[in-house]
C-alpha cells in the first residue's frame, strides 16, 4: 500500500468493525508522507475520525471501503479533537 492509494480517498467514509462494538463509520481526515526517524525509509500515516467514547484500544481492526474493499489495519487511538475520536495507522 502507498499513500497515493489513499490520497484520493481523503474525507471518504470507511466502515470499522470491532468485536463487541457495533460497526461504525470513520472518516479518513489525513494522509501524510515522510521518512522514518533514524532510517530515512519512506513511511506514511493515515488518520481516521469517528467512533465511540471512550476510544477503542490499539489493535488490528477491519475497515472497509466501497472501492478499496476490506483492509486490516493496526490502529492507535490519538484521542479526540473537536469533532470526535481519532485513530492513526502508520506504514513503514
How many structural domains does the chain have? 1
> For 67, left (φ over 0), alpha (ψ -120 to 50), or beta?
alpha
At 21-69, the pLDDT tens digits run: 889 999 999 999 988 777 888 899 999 999 888 899 999 999 999 999 9
Q: Is 78 helix (H, G, I), strand (E, B) or coil?
A: strand
Handedness of CA 80, 17, 60, 4 (dihedral sign): negative
pLDDT for the residue numbered 37: 77
Please, are residues 63 and 69 in contact by the beta-carbon 8 Å criterion? no
* Pairing outcome for strands 69-81 and 84-91: antiparallel
* C-alpha–C-alpha distance, residues 82 and 25, integer Å: 17
| In-domain check, residue 85 | no
pLDDT for the residue numbered 53: 83
pLDDT for the residue numbered 60: 96
pLDDT for the residue numbered 34: 87
| In-domain check, residue 92 | no
pLDDT for the residue numbered 20: 80
Is the pLDDT at 78 greater than 80? The verdict is yes
Domain ranges, residue 33: 1-61
| In-domain check, residue 33 | yes
Amino acid at each position: 500500500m502507498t499513500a497515493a492509494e489513499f490520497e484520493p480517498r481523503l474525507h471518504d467514509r470507511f466502515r470499522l468493525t470491532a468485536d463487541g462494538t457495533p460497526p461504525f463509520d470513520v472518516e479518513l481526515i489525513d494522509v501524510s508522507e515522510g521518512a522514518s526517524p533514524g532510517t530515512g525509509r519512506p513511511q506514511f500515516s493515515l488518520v481516521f475520525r469517528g467512533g465511540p467514547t471512550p476510544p477503542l484500544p490499539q489493535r488490528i481492526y477491519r475497515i472497509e471501503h466501497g472501492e478499496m474493499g476490506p483492509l486490516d489495519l493496526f490502529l492507535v487511538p490519538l484521542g479526540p479533537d473537536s469533532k470526535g475520536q481519532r485513530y492513526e495507522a502508520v506504514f513503514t
